[in-house]
Amino acid sequence: MEFFIKKGSQSPILKMKVIKDGRYDSYKIFNEELENATIRFSMKNESNGVQVIIMNNGFITERFQNNPDAPKEYYICYKWNGRETSRKGRYIGEFHIVNSMGELIAPIAENLYINIV
């Protein structure tokens, strides 16, 4: 996944859709676990591995659905401050989702690349 943000900017907010991973028997249990989770965000420089952000608070938001019967969709998010985007470059980000079932590091299948331009 590729994310782009301007140098020194605080927007857009970094947002990643949460995909049900099959560890839960029902959406109800999954949603309850997610709503009570702690979200942390970390980011490191791709070229030298230096950590730029270490376990800062993220948050979770629910996508508004027009159909009340549609399954809930969640996004994990991170709000930038100007210092975190002060250096141009390519970074690797990851979210840590901690709940009563343990810790999940996302994304799972591919890297989250953050490009500060």
Domain residue spans of the chain = 2-116
- The whole-number pLDDT of residue 104 equals 80
DSSP codes, 58-82: -EEEEPP-SSTTSPP-EEEEE---G
Return the closest-CA partner of residue 41 out of 81, 7, 101: 81
- What's the pLDDT at 26? 44
CATH number attached to the domain at 2-116: 2.60.40
Q: For residues 17 and 26, what is the distance between their CA atoms, to the nearest angstrom?
A: 18
**What's the pLDDT at 115?**
97
Between CA 20 and CA 24 the distance in angstroms is 8
One digit per residue, the tens of pLDDT, for the chain of length 117 reads: 999 999 999 999 999 987 665 554 445 556 667 778 899 999 999 999 999 999 999 999 888 878 888 777 888 999 999 899 999 999 999 999 888 778 888 887 789 999 999
